[in-house]
Amino acid sequence: MVRVGVDESLSDELLIGFPHDVEIVRIPRNLTDTIEIDFWILPFQRRDAAEAFSHLRGVKVVQSMMAGVDWITPWLPKDVTLCDGRGIHDISASEWVLAAILSSLKRFPLYRDMQLREQWKGQASVSDGFLNERGAQVGQYRVLGDDLSGKTILIVGYGSIGAAIERRLVPFGVNILRIARSSRQNPEVQDVSNLRRLLPEADVVVVIVPLTPDTRRLIGATELSLMKRGALLVNAARGPVVVTDAMVEALNSHQICAALDVTDPEPLPVGHPLWLAPNCLITPHVGGSTPEFIHRAFQFGAEQVRRFVAGQPLENVVTDAGY
């Protein structure tokens, strides 16, 4: 009988779809004894995963429920098959990106801050020339938010989530540029060597690459300086893909705006200058996490177990490229 390892606190509801002819083995936190399993399901970025793995025996497959597996590859032996969660984050992560873009363009974080201060006013300067009013009403209403329609969006990392982001953006009448590790057609995707050439064309740059040696520090001071002044950088990938110090400098000089679901370091410590950088929206790495995502994840996990039991090829097997 195939033994499937899951977290000790996992809800029984999430295991309903698993094959009845497998044994579910709950892996306790602070594991000290050895446990025999064949298939280990890691739902989240479990900090003690490497330590727990050292107590497991017989593991043939590790299934991550996260799209990124950079936190697993350093300690997992090469003879163990690793599968990632590609595809199951498409809905939640792409919806976060869309919400982040719209919230940033419409200046919702700024208006929320003003609401907390009980302030009713716009922030555009008098020299913007949109209104010719004089008197007490000046400054109460100003054109401030931008339209998404007509913007050029550069998606850096055009995989499963990148394609889902594009599907959600298309109804807004935007122009999409796409970059991936290698070029392809239908739709046109340019290879990463074109990044610096395309950055000046984009109003919004969405970063959704996996973290690998090639993508670490992909967006640094040079890349940020090539962005249009006031362009929006959206990082829904991993924090180290962007050079934090360079981003803080670009934010403080008003070169860019940013919407971040990931940071480097992470969690972002109290007092870090990124917290107070202007025009920066930060969420605590929650873009892919919704109740619906968790159900999709374990439906996928159950299907992977069925394939394993039947001796069929597994999906989402991670290659030497790191994804």
Which residues on adjacent β-strands are paired with residue 282? 260
SS3 track for 46-62: CCCHHHHHCCEECCCEE
Locate all alpha helices (DSSP H) within 49-143, ordered by sequence: 49-53, 90-105, 108-116
Pick the catalytic residue from 95, 266, 303, 315: 266
Burial of 1 (0-12, 13-18, 19+ CB in 10 A): exposed
- The two three-digit tokens of residue 140, written as one number: 């109460």
Pick the catalytic residue from 89, 178, 285, 296: 285
249 noted as active-site residue: no
Give SS3 for 93. Answer: helix
C-beta of residue 236 within 8 angstroms of C-beta of residue 262: yes
- The two three-digit tokens of residue 4, written as one number: 């499937």
Tell me the C-alpha distance between 282 and 195, whole Å: 24
Pick the catalytic residue from 86, 89, 178, 238: 238
> Residue 248 belongs to what H/E stretch?
helix 244-252
Tell me the C-alpha distance between 72 and 50, whole Å: 8
Nearest to 238 by CA among 102, 69, 49, 96: 69
Give SS3 for 194. Answer: helix
- The two three-digit tokens of residue 146, written as one number: 């931008």
Tell me the C-alpha distance between 139 and 116, whole Å: 19
285 noted as active-site residue: yes
Which residues are designated catalytic? Answer: 238, 266, 285
